[in-house]
Structure 1
Amino acid sequence: MSRQLVTIFGGSGFVGRHVVRRLAADGWLCRVAVRNPDSATFLKVDGDPGQVVPFAADVTDMKSVERAVVGAKRVVNLVGILYQKGRRTFQRVHVDGAANVAKAARAAGVERLVQMSAIGADPNSPAAYGRTKAAGEAAAKAAFDEVSIVRPSVVFGPEDDFFNRFAAMARISPVLPEFPAKFQPVYVADVASAIARILDDPDTRGKTYELGGPRVITFHEFLELVLRVTGRHRPIVAIPMSLAALQATFLELLPVPPLTRDQLKLLGRDNVVSPGALTLSDLGISPTTMEAVLPTYLHRYRPQTKQRKRLA
């Protein structure tokens, strides 16, 4: 394939770096559109010299978005936030940002657009995160008719913020909190492969894909898996939602909150692929199991063993 340009908004993030690596391996010229280009320089080694280029852009700034899509044949918008802080609100990032990218892509004559959303995107969601993800999908569709939507469940991989968070918690906390939700964790490399195939297959135009792993687990099973992989033993305690909400009220005041009241509302709902949805299998991808991957990066949370005495 002759090298063509793809712009990846949010390409230095957890999912983004895997998408960039996959697209670079497929031969694309990758413009990594991020607020701070210096944060994306590590991705340059994932391609030939000049193949992966960090580019200053903020999805909430239309002029920078327009500059970022000039000359691109494909565009991927992966930008999202888990909590609001200052001007980085769900409305500005998830909705206005998605609209800006879609409008700019259409005006620039971009052939394909992929918008990453999330399972749980629902205009009637109790969480602002879920409502604005749904509104972002609608905004992208209104501006770019054939936008393809991907909705992953909880994404796992070496840099994830979910399995790592609870594995770290198990090191210091005497108990682990249990919530009522079920999940269908999906491997980050499978998500990257899905986006790459969507960009390459014209039959995916205008379709929505829900990306989940090979099995659904309860929150209790998730915590048991984390403890088993990390070699830890901790009681798992169901926390009353009222108490958790009180804790979240204070935790969300931290610079990087480990839990917010909005996230708590998400944890009260299942996060699994909907019946009849298009999935990884419709893209020819066999989902990777958690057991095959988690030990490769959660091992660092295992208890430290005594060092062997050095031989004299």
Structure 2
Amino acid sequence: MSKLVTIFGGSGFVGRYIARAMAAEGWRVRVACRRPNEALFVKSYGAVGQVEPVLCNIRNEASVAAALSGAQAVVNCVGTFDTMGANNQTALHVEGAGRIARLASAAGVHSLVHVSAIGADAEGGSNYARSKGEGEAAVLAGFPNALILRPSVVFGQEDGFFNRFGAQSRLGPILPLVGAETRFQPVYVEDVAQAALNGITRGATGVYELGGPEAKSLRALIKDVLTEVKRRRLVINLPFFVGSAIGGVLSGVQALTLGLFKNTLITPDQVRQLRSDNVVTPGAKGLAELGVTPKAYETVFGDYMWRYRPAGQFTAIRDSAKNLKKV
């Protein structure tokens, strides 16, 4: 019988690509998520019965133990930007990650991959960075031979990075940014998935930082987005204190409405994150050591960013029609 991998958060953005990569290699894949009825699409990643979504809440011991039953490998992709509510960063990044590692070790799991983030630091300047750093420590305490992947911002068809700015480019002539000079090293989601797969098959352990072939400032990345979507916008860099104020107001409204209004624009904690570059540390182990050649975002994001062009997929046809001569 083929080996079984349990992927916590396997229906999320990164998790679904890891599930697809593992299935393509012949693994049976158990996708552990809170809403399996909304994750039925993962079944199409393999043969009948090869990929199955199951109900799991990583805040519950019995739920995690059941999802781990019979698995030879485990991947934890669960993550959040929420600082409030039951599923906050501490509950998921620290307590949940530690619970998965501890129970995986007790269940005799051979390999554990934990997806963290560049900048993870228990002494970091943002709650997100601290929770990721504390989560790594909890994972290693429970499963010392774990493989920890720290990707920079991840891009791909369903990403929340390029898609976000593409959508904002349609709203008006000005595109305000916070942290315009902060540098990022976008990494392709399929490269992250391949890194996780290779890490398991090669028995890799330790910390690996994953970034694409080039690091750029947020301003430069957004200019590339605007070129791709064929829109001219004035990019304005807002001071960090302005971003913090905006984030504070929006988060306050979210709290007052008990979550009926969801702050998806920016939070004070995200502003704190933007004060630090999000790039691979010089000398750190990365994609190359895991046998992956990274793809540049310029070669990929055109496949899905067309939706933000003035005429969508018909923009090229419209532009071509302008060159037709009238008879």
Interval containing the TM-score (normalised by the shorter chain): over 0.9
Residues 186 and 288 of structure 1 are in contact (CA less than 8 Å); yes or no, is this contact kept in structure 2? yes
> Could you say what secondary structure the match of 1:171 adopts?
coil
Normalising to structure 1: TM-score of the pair? Answer: 0.95
Deviations 1:135-170 (A, max 9, x none): 000000001110110000000001000111111001
User: Matches of residues 152-191 of structure 1 in structure 2 within 5 Å?
Assistant: 152-178=151-177, 179=179, 180-191=181-192
> Could you say what secondary structure the match of 2:176 adopts?
strand
- Using the alignment, how far apart are the partners of 1:10 and 1:208 within structure 2? 20
Deviation at 1:176, TM superposition (A): 1.7
> Could you say what secondary structure the match of 2:29 adopts?
strand
Residues 83 and 260 of structure 1 are in contact (CA less than 8 Å); yes or no, is this contact kept in structure 2? no
> Could you say what secondary structure the match of 1:250 adopts?
helix
Find the counterpart in structure 2 of residue 10 from structure 1.
Answer: 9
> Could you say what secondary structure the match of 1:131 adopts?
helix
Residue 28 (structure 1) aligned with residue 39 (structure 2): no
Residue 262 (structure 1) aligned with residue 269 (structure 2): yes
Deviation at 1:174, TM superposition (A): 2.5
Higher mean C-alpha deviation, range 215-224 or range 76-85: 76-85
Alignment length (residue pairs) = 306
> Could you say what secondary structure the match of 1:229 adopts?
helix
- Using the alignment, how far apart are the partners of 2:299 and 2:75 within structure 1? 28
Residue 272 (structure 1) aligned with residue 273 (structure 2): no
Deviation at 1:89, TM superposition (A): 1.3
Residue 63 (structure 1) aligned with residue 62 (structure 2): yes
Deviations 1:107-141 (A, max 9, x none): 11000001110001012211100000000000000
Residues 81 and 88 of structure 2 are in contact (CA less than 8 Å); yes or no, is this contact kept in structure 1? no
Find the counterpart in structure 1 of residue 113 from structure 2.
Answer: 114
Residues 207 and 285 of structure 2 are in contact (CA less than 8 Å); yes or no, is this contact kept in structure 1? yes
Residues 173 and 232 of structure 2 are in contact (CA less than 8 Å); yes or no, is this contact kept in structure 1? no
> Could you say what secondary structure the match of 1:8 adopts?
strand
- Using the alignment, how far apart are the partners of 2:175 and 2:239 within structure 1? 13
Normalising to structure 2: TM-score of the pair? Answer: 0.91
Deviation at 1:177, TM superposition (A): 2.3
Deviation at 1:242, TM superposition (A): 1.2
User: Matches of residues 14-93 of structure 1 in structure 2 within 5 Å?
Assistant: 14-93=13-92
Deviations 1:25-65 (A, max 9, x none): 00000000001111210010110000001111111111100
Of the three residues 278, 284, 289, the one matched with 2:296 is 289
- Using the alignment, how far apart are the partners of 1:118 and 1:240 within structure 2? 25
- Using the alignment, how far apart are the partners of 1:175 and 1:243 within structure 2? 16
Deviation at 1:256, TM superposition (A): 4.3
Find the counterpart in structure 2 of residue 249 from structure 1.
Answer: 248
After TM superposition, where is structure 1 displaced by more than 3 Å over at least 4 residues in a row? 305-309
- RMSD (Å), alpha carbons: 1.5
Amino acid paired to 1:84: T
Amino acid paired to 1:155: V
> Could you say what secondary structure the match of 2:209 adopts?
strand
Amino acid paired to 1:189: E
Deviations 1:219-248 (A, max 9, x none): 110110110111010011110111111111
Residues 211 and 286 of structure 2 are in contact (CA less than 8 Å); yes or no, is this contact kept in structure 1? yes
Query: Structure 1 regions of 5+ residues with no counterpart?
Result: none
Amino acid paired to 2:304: Y
Query: Structure 2 regions of 5+ residues with no counterpart?
Result: 255-260, 322-327
Find the counterpart in structure 1 of residue 257 from structure 2.
Answer: none
- Using the alignment, how far apart are the partners of 2:106 and 2:172 within structure 1? 52
Deviations 1:169-215 (A, max 9, x none): 0100331223131000000000000000001012x12x111000000
